[in-house]
Every structure is written in structure tokens, then in C-alpha cells.
Amino acid sequence: MKFKLHALAAATTLAMTPVSQAADVEVLHWWTSGGEAASVQFLKQQLEGKNVGWTDFAVAGGGGESAMTVLKSRAISGNPPTAAQIKGPSIQEWGELGFLASIDDVANAADWDNLLPSVVSDVMKYNGEYVAAPVNVHRVNWLWANPAVFQKAGATIPTTWDDFMLQAQKLKDAGFVALAHGGQAWQDATVFEAVVLGVGGADYYQKAFVEGDMAALNSDTTVEVFETFGKLRQYIDANSPGRDWNVATSMVINGEAGMQIMGDWAKGEFKVAGKNVGTDYVCVAAPGTSGSFTFNVDSFAFFTQSDDAKSAAQGVMADAILSTEFQEVFNLNKGSIPARLSMDRAEFDSCAHDSMDAFIASSQTGGLVPSFAHGMAVSEAVAGAIYDTATNFFNSSDSAEQGAKQLVAAIAAAQ
């Protein structure tokens, strides 16, 4: 009897599986934690609703480093996944190697050129054709602060770097850690990026750190940037080397530290801790960068397939990624804002609203710049060179002049 039941169950499952499965998409990604995993699940369900199966190919760890290693070996062996989480200039590198498939048909049909801001759509194109679909826009230049700590120390939340040093000193004198920071290369680079933008301004940022212009890099502004960056050394605590970013965020949450400079993914930590924006924590643009926006856009790039059914499935997936439902659910989970413009924003919180406003405003003034600390602005080699100099400088007692000199040399060598 038991056996019969099993057989019956199996038969029912078989009958329920749709016969006309179009094709499966195999998606390489590294969104395995909490809200991110939930977002991926949502995309999977959406695709399954359109008869496209989903083979999950998640490689966790290292901010995608391990996933990229797997992707390279799969691509070399001639068996790339249908889509992979690749972003920024890496899309161009994969395009140059001839791996990426055009999804222009879908993109033109849905008029992506008008749905996406041009800075985002430029990144998604290789040779003028769409090869990737954006899922979100992170703003990196945020300052997260705990107002209760500021009140106790009699300090105010700073809006310029000069003011930052004054207020940080007050926090420090009152016995708080002024700046919660994790001494990992990418976090050092994230803070460095905020300093570059705040001290140098968007034009300098664009010239020196996106275009790699030697005249801009050799200017006095670079030295000023390193001077400000160097001053921050005294406002972090001695235990910071090696600390993870979310541990640093929790120092702000529990009132041990006053501020943290981190992208908008930090919001998730505050939310999970049950904190309310405005009262328990505040988000403001990093000092001196209120009119600017360093963006970090996650995207899925599509790999050339030999099978037509799979190419069709890619189209369905690209379409689903740009759908308003997915963009909303994904970004609510992740703390970022939709890549797609003019969506209903009622569900989003005030930090996201600020981010959306700044995104649109800065795209008109030229303050919208790609984040080099998060692989959006320059090749991995140049980004690596900036990482090395920033993290080495921040952990040493080198002078600003030395830092600037090392930076110029490292970028020149990596270009």
C-alpha cells in the first residue's frame, strides 16, 4: 500500500510538470545571504511562471571572487552558464573576449534606452548592443550615523570634511569610536573614494579615477585628498584591521561608534537590528558629496549559447529582470534603488528616496560617477592598484605626498 502511494505521488508530480518547458537558464551568482537570496528566489519564480526553468549556480564567498574563478574556468572549457552576475568594465572585458550574447531584440522591444539612465545603459552595452541587464543601483557615498551618540558627545552630523574632523574629535573626546571602520582593502577603498569625491569634486574624480588622466592625478588635489584621508587614521579604533563591514555597522547600531562610511547595503543591517531611520540611525551623503552619487550597479550578463531555445530563455530572463515587479522586490530586499527610472516609490524608505532624488539630480549635473572601489569605474588591474595604495597608505604613517606619489606610480604601472 505504501509503495502504491509513492507511485501515485510520483505519477502526479510527473503529470504536473509542464511538458512544454522552453529551456532552462543556468545563472551564476553570489547572492546567497538573507535578503539577496530571497530576491534571487523571486526572479526564479517569475521565470518559472513563464515556463523557463532555473538552474541555480551560486558560488558564495569573497565578494564574487570565487564565482569569477569558476566562471573563467567554465568559459574557457566552452561551457559558460546562460547568465552570470558580472558588472561594470568587466562586461566590456568579457565582450572583448567574444563570450557575450546580444539581447538587443528584447531591449529594443521594451525600450530600455528610455527606461534606463544613460550612465547605466552604457555599462550594459558592448559595441552598442545590450549584453547585460541591470538589477539595481547602489549609492556608495553614504554616511551612516547614530544620532544618540552625537547627542551625548554634543556633536552634529558633518556635511564637509573639515567639519567631519571637528565633530569626530568631539566624538573621540567623549569616548566613542568616531568612525566605525573595517580594515579590509575594499573598505579602505570605499572610504578613500568618499574622500576623493568630497575633497576633489566630481570633475576631478571623473578625470583622475575614471579616465586615469595623469595631469589630474599629478595635481595638488591628489595630495589634498591624501591629507584628508590620512587624518581619518586617528578616528578609527585600533582593532579595525580585518574587521568585516557588518561588524563595523553593528558598532554604530549599538552606540559604540558614531559614524560609518559605507554603501546603502548597510541599511539592511540597521533594519535587521530593528532600528528606525531618522530616530535610531540617519543616512546622509558622505561629507562634501551631497550633490554627487557614486554608483555601483549589479547586473547579469548573458553568454552566447549554441542552443536557440536557451537564447530565447535569455530573452525572457532579461525581460523579467527589467520588470517593475522584480526591480521593486529585489531592491526593497537589497537596500538599493531600481535601475529602472520613474517607478512607483511608495514602498521605499526615506534613505532610498534620497538616493533616487540624488540619482536623478546628479545625472543632470555630472555628479553621477561610477564607483572605483566597487569595480564600476576602471579595469580590475587599475582598481587593484588603487586598492593597494589606499590600503597601504591608510595603514601606514606615510605623508600625503608619499601617498599621492605611490598612487600615480601604481596607476601608471597598471594601465
Partner 1 sequence: MFKYLATHLPKVVLAPTAIVMLVCMYGFIGWTAGLSFTKSRMLPQWEFVGLTQYEKLFSNPRWMVALDNLLIFTLLFIFISLVLGLLLAIFLDRKVRGEGVIRTIYLYPMAISFVVTGTAWKWILNPGLGLEKLAHDLGFSNFEFRWLVDQDMAIYTIVIAAVWQSSGFVMAMFLAGLRGVDDNLVKAAQVDGASVIQTYWHIILPLMKPVFFGAVVVLAHIAIKSFDLVQALTGGGPGYASDLPANFMYTFAFSRAQMGLGAASAMVMLGGVLAILVPYLYSELRSKKS
Q: Which residues bind partner 1 (CB under 8 A)?
A: 62, 65, 68-69, 72, 75-76, 90, 93-94, 97, 183-185, 188, 237-242, 379-381, 384, 388, 391-396, 406, 410, 413-414
Asked whether 195 and 292 are in contact (CB, 8 A), the reply is no
Element (H, E) at 203: helix 201-205
| Distance set, CA 31 to CA 36, 39, 159, 294, 348 (Å) | 5, 9, 33, 22, 21
**Least distance to partner 1, CB of residue 252, Å:** 16
**Least distance to partner 1, CB of residue 138, Å:** 20
Closest residue by Cα to residue 294 from 123, 138, 125: 138
**Least distance to partner 1, CB of residue 218, Å:** 18
Asked whether 295 and 137 are in contact (CB, 8 A), the reply is yes
Closer residue to partner 1, CB minimum distance, 75 or 110: 75
Closer residue to partner 1, CB minimum distance, 184 or 355: 184
**Least distance to partner 1, CB of residue 410, Å:** 8
**Least distance to partner 1, CB of residue 395, Å:** 4
Closer residue to partner 1, CB minimum distance, 76 or 109: 76
Closest residue by Cα to residue 178 from 198, 140, 148, 149: 149
DSSP 301-333: EEB--S-HHHHHHHHHHHHHHTSHHHHHHHHHH
Closer residue to partner 1, CB minimum distance, 210 or 341: 210
Sign of CA dihedral 239, 244, 245, 249: negative
- Tell me if residue 213 falls in helix, strand or coil: coil
User: Each residue of 382-412: b (16+ CB within 10 Å) or e?
Assistant: bbbbbbbbbbbbbeeebebebbbbbbbebbe
Long-range interactions of 67-71: CB distance < 8 A, separation 24+:
67/28, 67/29, 67/30, 70/28, 71/28
**Least distance to partner 1, CB of residue 59, Å:** 13
Closer residue to partner 1, CB minimum distance, 221 or 391: 391
Asked whether 341 and 115 are in contact (CB, 8 A), the reply is yes
Q: What angle do CA 335, 338, 343 make, to 5 degrees?
A: 125
In angstroms, rounded to a whole number, what is the distance separating the alpha carbons of residues 193 and 206? Answer: 11
Closer residue to partner 1, CB minimum distance, 39 or 249: 249
In angstroms, rounded to a whole number, what is the distance separating the alpha carbons of residues 280 and 76? Answer: 50
Closer residue to partner 1, CB minimum distance, 239 or 342: 239
**Least distance to partner 1, CB of residue 71, Å:** 10
**Least distance to partner 1, CB of residue 213, Å:** 21
Closer residue to partner 1, CB minimum distance, 218 or 402: 402
Closest residue by Cα to residue 266 from 362, 180, 200, 189: 180
Q: Any residues with CB less than 8 A from the CB of 413 and at least 6 apart, and which?
A: 385
Closer residue to partner 1, CB minimum distance, 64 or 198: 64
**Least distance to partner 1, CB of residue 279, Å:** 29
Closer residue to partner 1, CB minimum distance, 240 or 331: 240
